[in-house]
Amino acid sequence: MKKILPFVAFFTLAVRGYCQKNAITDTTDLFKMMDKEDQKPDKSKTDYVTSTFKTTRLINGQSSENLGKGVLDVKISHRFGTLNSGAYQLFGLDNATNRIGVDYGIFNTLMVGVGRSSFEKQFDAFGKLKILRQSTGRINMPVSVSYYSSVMLKTLKGTDSAKTHFSDKLFFAQQLIIARKFNDYLSLQVVPTLVHYNIVPFHNMPNDLYSIGFGGRLRLSRRVNLTAEYYYQLPGHSLPGYYNSFSVGIDIETGGHVFQFNISNSTGMTERTFITQTTDKWSDGGIHFGFNISRVFTVVKPRQFNAKW
Amino acid sequence: MKKKYLTVACVVFIAGITHAQKLFSTKTGQISFYAGTPLEDVRAINNETDSKMLQKNGQIIFSVLVKGFVFANALMQDHFNENYMESTKFPKADFKGFITNINAVDFDKDGIYNISAGGDLTIHGITQKVNLNGTLEVKGDNIILLSKFKIALKDFDVTGNYIGTKIAPEVEITVNCKYE
């Protein structure tokens, strides 16, 4: 008996201790419990930052955003001629190049897309994978990081008689998109980029062209955002006669659409054409007006919607 | 003999704590809402509602993360958070109140009981007194709370261009919580 007493005492205390964890006494007040819980930061959940950028594209280049799972995005983009082409060309509006594309979110972390540009009758396809998501709470992550990879195929028939192979018309781009949403008003991203040419015009030109993109979004009002994007080609990594691309845009959201108006010295809408083949200069008035229209459709509803309402 | 007394005392003691004052809780309650119009199907669902209820006096709390509401349309979800609910500024919505007729519920007997509750509903940083009706189903050790009620967006200072056209000015909220 004496041997068992300490055990019983211990057991009683242990149970009491356990019960006190969920203790409900006459003075238990759920309101106070809730206030207490609200005061301390919730470390049990991870709060992921959403809408760092408004669409998956900043202006010409990619943003750190992905489409949600099961979302289809139809994008129609136009870039007009240069403003300095004068009134005869209606300041560039007589000339337009376009890209029509369709993007789709396979998972929340992976999206793919295809497109066709009128410039050099180019087809492109890409995939974008989210590696890290900016978050607070249980997981603290200061930035979002995505990997983007695309392939471009020029199908314009060659004018010279030199024999070309299919692979000569292929171009590749790889990007790491590092982004941070500082607050509801400001998001910035840095984009190390590699554009690979399977064939370059002259043998002394590099096939791998490295550049760094800088981009940002500034919220002006609930539905209007100012965006800017600059791609800096590293010294020795640009083709002769081409300039760095700089663009400024306005994003306007209306219901299921996002309209992006922009002015830029680039007309290209794929990595090869706007990062490494921008032919115009801002200082000469070589500025193009352009717009992107995005319309999203929900193809597969989130799983929460499978249950009955 | 002594041992027996001790054991009995212990059991009574433990039972005394656990039985008389029961706290029901869930972290996976469901709150959904519908603010649709013929133009737009505005609805969302949140399956991570945190709720607790005290049996003795009917005190009840609900707490939900605004960002946890899932829409079928991702862009709509974005607008909900950024433009209407301002969920970075006001991350939580909650309710603190009492089930006023908790005595009408017999927790030892399975059945569906009509209940009404009154308390403070906080959405978008604005607190309003509300009175709600619903049902409480007792099913063994579990209870299931169902309630449907309407709130006016203007009462909670939620504004936007599309309220009144694409978004209904009154939102129907459905609560479906299974407690343990």
Nearest CA-CA distance, residue A173 and chain B, Å: 28
Q: Write down how long chain B is.
A: 180
Q: Per residue in A115-126, pLDDT tens?
A: 999 988 999 999
The answer to whether residue A309 scores a pLDDT higher than 50 is: no
Hey, how many other C-beta atoms are within 10 angstroms of the C-beta on A77? 22
Give tens-digit pLDDT for A175-215.
999 999 999 899 999 999 999 999 888 888 899 999 999 99
The pLDDT assigned to B117 comes to 95
* Inter-residue contact A251 to A260 (CB < 8 Å): yes
Q: Which of residues 4-43 of B touch A (CB under 8 A)?
A: 6-7, 10, 13-14, 17-18, 21-23, 32, 40, 43
Check pLDDT > 70 for residue A102.
yes
B133 Cα distance to chain centroid: 12
ipTM: 0.71
Contact A56, A67 (CB under 8 A): yes
Query: Is B78 within 8 Å of B59 (Cβ atoms)?
Result: no
Tell me how crowded residue B150 is: count the other CB atoms within 10 A of its CB.
Answer: 12
Q: Taken in order A306, B53, B134, B155, is the CA torsion positive or negative?
A: negative
CB A276 within 8 A of CB A211: yes
Residues of B in contact with A65 (CB under 8 A): none
All residues of chain B having their beta carbon less than 8 Å from the beta carbon of residue A307 are 45
CB A134 within 8 A of CB A180: yes
Cα(A165)–Cα(A168) distance, integer angstroms: 5
Which helix (H) or strand (E) segment holds residue B95: the answer is strand B92-99
* Residues near B14 by beta carbon (within 8 Å), at least 6 away in sequence: A15, A19
What are the two backbone dihedrals, phi and then psi, of residue A14, each rounded to the nearest 5 degrees? -60, -45
DSSP code per residue over A176-221: EEEEEE-SSSEEEEEEEEEEEESS-SSTTS-SEEEEEEEEEEEE-S
- A21 pLDDT band, cuts 50/70/90, is very low
Amino acid at the residue A265: N
Question: Distances in Å between the alpha carbon of A6 and those of A12, A14, B6?
Answer: 10, 12, 12
Is B165's Cβ below 8 Å from some Cβ in A? no
**pLDDT above 90: percentage of residues in chain A:** 55
Chain B residues whose beta carbon lies within 8 Å of the beta carbon of residue A67:
74
pLDDT of amino acid A288: 93
| Mean pLDDT, range B97-106, rounded to an integer | 92
Q: Does position B11 have pLDDT exceeding 50, yes or no? A: yes
Average pLDDT over residues B130-142: 92
* Angle, in degrees to the nearest 10, between helices A4-21 and B2-20: 0
Task: Answer whether A162 touches B (CB < 8 Å).
Answer: no
Report the pLDDT value the prediction gives residue A90, as an integer from 0 to 100: 84
Q: If you measure CA to CA, which chain B residue comes closest to A17?
A: B14
| CA–CA distance, A170 with A153 (Å, rounded to integer) | 5
Closest C-alpha among B55, B1, B65, B56 to residue B28: B65
Residue B160: list chain A partners with CB under 8 A: 222
Q: Per mean pLDDT, which range of A75-79, A161-165, A173-177, A209-213 is the poorest?
A: A161-165
pLDDT digits (tens, 9 = 90+) for A44-62: 778 888 889 989 999 999 9
Average pLDDT, chain B: 88
